[in-house]
Structure 1
């Protein structure tokens, strides 16, 4: 089997397995018992990772336009590394903790009518942003992996072609992640 075929199989497999694993962990009623206080800080850690990724993506894009390929490679490699770190932390968090419910002020795991009325349209705005963030984060994974593959394979024509729509989606996901965290942060347990 040639390298291109192996790469495409890896990209396809990861593109299915990663979102499926995340969905199972989020919606599973079974959580790994772990009573570690540091687990509660993972959402803030992930928001920081997303913020750093956004900065690196912008820097990497600027470096590519300026022709500084060495700094472009470094920025994009660090972005991918941070993406892997994010995924590992995200899986750790959601395998041990329940998801936060936006607006659940008393943190009892139920959004009462009173709580829902007190946040009004903010819940719709939050859920719209969250849904777009989640959907685009799942969609962008195979394209990011393909962009890296094309760069490594030195097929720069395909790399540039795929990056034209992959980069803005990845940047959107990296920017909306911290915004989603900031909006939901009052509802995380301390």
Structure 2
């Protein structure tokens, strides 16, 4: 299959996933399993785990950047697949937590409250934007369209890194307010 045909083959999936994932996450954020008669315990142990996964994702992204800058292509590819897998694991745990637990309200005041919400809002917006960017970057690499891959990866990398790092920061800022 020609390289541009590979890209075209995946474009529909990229569009579908880029819309479906945020919509489904938004819906599931408000769906509680107990409301449907499921007797499930709140998965309150998950936030520190998925925050750690965000931190590991940031480290993996930095290592992948280092690898490609040092022409370690296979290592870069493996690290990027790992970063994607970590992000999928994060998403699954995040949804599971919110489907079994009440949302935690931030309890800080003053300037810290403003800082928290600024970080949270940018984190949420960019976490939606990063979905198609990661998928397009991955497909372009898969199609061996490395000129096009590099162009979008220059945009994708800093946004994905920001989302991963701010995920940890948001967790650290709200963690004192979690109900155990």
**TM value normalised by structure 2:** 0.91
Unaligned regions of 5+ residues in structure 1, if any? 104-117
**Number of equivalences:** 172
Report the Cα offset of residue 94 of structure 1: 1.4
Paired residue for 2:151? 161
Distance 1:166 1:93 in 2: 27
Distance 1:41 1:138 in 2: 25
The higher relative CO (CA closer than 8 Å, separation ≥ 6) is in: 2
**Pair 1:88-2:89 in alignment:** no
Paired residue for 1:107? none
Distance 2:161 2:175 in 1: 21
Q: What secondary structure is seen at the aligned counterpart in 2 of 1:121?
A: helix
Contact 2:7–2:140 (CA under 8 A) maintained in structure 1: no
Paired residue for 2:126? 136
Distance 1:44 1:17 in 2: 26
Distance 1:48 1:97 in 2: 19
Paired residue for 1:32? 33
Unaligned regions of 5+ residues in structure 2, if any? none
Report the Cα offset of residue 4 of structure 1: 2.9
Report the Cα offset of residue 164 of structure 1: 0.4
Paired residue for 2:60? 56
**TM value normalised by structure 1:** 0.86
Report the Cα offset of residue 98 of structure 1: 1.9
Per-residue deviation, residues 117-144 of structure 1 (Å, max 9, x unmatched): x722211110110000010010011010
Runs of 4+ in structure 1 over 6 Å off: none
Report the Cα offset of residue 24 of structure 1: 1.3
Report the Cα offset of residue 5 of structure 1: 2.8
Report the Cα offset of residue 23 of structure 1: 1.2
**Pair 1:68-2:58 in alignment:** no
Distance 2:9 2:81 in 1: 21
Alignment counterpart, residue 45 of structure 2, candidates 41, 44, 49: 41
Paired residue for 1:18? 21
